[in-house]
Amino acid sequence: MMEISEDPKSGDFVLVISKGIREKWYRKWLRINLPQGMWRVKCSKEEVSEAVNKFLSEKILT
């Protein structure tokens, strides 16, 4: 999962990237899905594609 949003105050972009899904049982009757790993990156508009490519190559596609 990847979410890209813009901070209205600073104009910077915030990327939230997660990898994989794992199941977790809570109190034996509720099953929830959690990411295996999650990262948050704050960057300028010009750096968004570079940040996405870097995270894909280093964290997700390895």
Distance CA 58, CA 54 (A): 6
The DSSP symbol for 62 reads -
2 pLDDT above the threshold of 80: yes
Let me know: does 15 contact 40? Beta carbons within 8 Å: yes
pLDDT 10s digits, 9-41: 989 999 998 888 888 888 888 988 888 888 899
Q: Alpha-carbon distance 32 to 58, whole Å? A: 27
Per the structure, how many domains does the chain have? 1
pLDDT of residue 4: 93
Residue span of the structural domain in which 40 resides: 2-60
Q: If residue 55 lies in a helix (H) or strand (E), which one and from where to where?
A: helix 48-55
Task: Report the candidate in 44, 34, 49 with the shortest Cα–Cα distance to residue 7.
Answer: 44
